[in-house]
Structure 1
Amino acid sequence: MSTISASPEVLGEPLSLAEQSYRDLRDRLIMLDIRPGEPINDGQLALELGVGRTPVREALKRLEIDHLVVSYPRRGTFATIVDITELADVSEMRRSLEPLAARKAALGASESDRGALRALARDIERLGEKRVDKRGLMQYDLSVHRLIYRAAGNPHLEETLIRLDNLATRIWCLVLDKVPSVAGHIEEHVDLLEAIVAGEADKAEAMALAHITSFEQTIRAVL
């Protein structure tokens, strides 16, 4: 399996233990490493992450807001079930907000963000030369979207889209083995990234909408 660089969301940022725990557990839940419905043992997770229970408990509170875990009195905390019926609602919001983020990134991304977008596009172009499994491809997908959200320069938009993309990714991971061409879906990002880097806002906006629409169609076709 190929390894890829850390998500742009975390690059260059000093993180608290609670933030590190949150991001680690969030991505485990997204990628279904923590299976839907699985009980969450905060003590065990603290040992695995090498932190105390307090950062893990703080992380779990945030993950409940993200709809990735749910807590029940006297029963404990569990990974949420992946609800396929949420796809329509999540996609409806993404069809409005993803094109907006792409447009804003094309118009206002910093030079450092444009450099990161360009480098990621070149990395994806070389996927055919690498041995990247489906999990690795999903990590590329997360990285592309999170970098675009950051480049848009609106922290509220970024936070909202990360949550929506996380929910969409969980659904995708649930049916990943049935999707015929994950690599093709990831490679679609190259033109989008290049449009953003070039400042072509109309093109980036249209391509982002097409990408989200294609994603929903692909998932529905295998359900």
Structure 2
Amino acid sequence: MQTGGGDLPAREAEESYADYAYRVLCDELIVLDIKPGEPLNDDVISRRLGVGRTPIREAMKRLESDHLVVAYPRRGTFAAGVDITDLAEISEIRQLLEPAASARAARMASPKTRQELKEFAREVDQLLGRQLGQRDLMRLDMRVHRTIYRATGSRHMEDVLIRYDNVATRIWSLVLEKLPPVSEHIAQHIELLDCIADGDADTAAQLTTKHVADFEQLIRSVL
């Protein structure tokens, strides 16, 4: 069964049904509202999302390419497992890629994007003042990362980084209830967003390196 995480987000005006199904299911898989190993049934998901089976199948193919679901012949499709032992490898890869992405964004972002990053930094600051729950903080962290990836202007870099960030966030979700409030970890993004907006590539890369290292240390502290 797929119960999801409660109220469903609305489909955006220009969003296709397949994109909508992908967005909802991707979020539920990343934050483990759909548990690792849980079967995903097209009919059940179609009724729950109010979307036809063809868009659901399209979304499932994308999720499989993202390694978020696994399809077995004659058995069906299941949420991918989460292996906590992947943490060291994922962290090593992110230590290489994430600082490079932040530095590239600082160099390549358009004036419009730089202004949006400044505004987003202020939004993050305001949201952190609202004492968000752990899952909302986690989703905010994902928003920041995806905003930075998009600011690189490289579709290939963005795709790769999202894939590894998804894995890292699923590991995070696995131990979320054991962690202290992670607002301080999220707050590191405010200075980072400002550095990228200001074009300070070196400082942006340094802050990102520290952020990824702190993430690994945070997870290991509760293992």
Q: Same fold (TM over 0.5)?
A: yes
Residue identity in the other structure for 1:120:
F
Q: How far is the alpha carbon of 1:15 from its aligned partner?
A: 2.9
Q: How far is the alpha carbon of 1:108 from its aligned partner?
A: 1.1
Show structure 1 runs of 5+ residues with no match: 1-5
Distance in 2 of aligned mates of 1:91 and 1:40? 29
Q: Is the 8 A contact 2:134 2:181 kept in 1?
A: no
| SS of alignment partner, residue 137 of structure 2 | helix
Q: How far is the alpha carbon of 1:130 from its aligned partner?
A: 1.2
Residue identity in the other structure for 1:115:
Q
| TM, length-normalised to structure 1 | 0.91
Q: How far is the alpha carbon of 1:134 from its aligned partner?
A: 0.8
Question: Counterpart in 1 of 2:184?
Answer: 184
Q: How far is the alpha carbon of 1:66 from its aligned partner?
A: 1.2
Question: Counterpart in 2 of 1:171?
Answer: 171
Distance in 1 of aligned mates of 2:221 and 2:73? 38
Higher RCO (C-alpha 8 Å, min separation 6): 1
Question: Counterpart in 2 of 1:88?
Answer: 88
Tell me the C-alpha RMSD between the 2 structures: 1.8
Per-residue deviation, residues 170-201 of structure 1 (Å, max 9, x unmatched):
00011011112311111111111110011101
Distance in 2 of aligned mates of 1:20 and 1:110? 28
| SS of alignment partner, residue 126 of structure 1 | helix
Q: How far is the alpha carbon of 1:127 from its aligned partner?
A: 3.5
Q: How far is the alpha carbon of 1:90 from its aligned partner?
A: 1.3
| SS of alignment partner, residue 222 of structure 1 | coil
Per-residue deviation, residues 82-113 of structure 1 (Å, max 9, x unmatched):
11111122111111110111001111112232
Distance in 1 of aligned mates of 2:129 and 2:215? 24
Distance in 2 of aligned mates of 1:211 and 1:63? 27
Question: Counterpart in 2 of 1:15?
Answer: 15
Distance in 2 of aligned mates of 1:123 and 1:22? 26
Per-residue deviation, residues 155-182 of structure 1 (Å, max 9, x unmatched):
0000000010011000001101111231
Paired positions, count: 214
Show structure 2 runs of 5+ residues with no match: 1-8
Per-residue deviation, residues 51-76 of structure 1 (Å, max 9, x unmatched):
11011111111111211111112211
Question: Counterpart in 1 of 2:104?
Answer: 104
Q: How far is the alpha carbon of 1:128 from its aligned partner?
A: 4.7
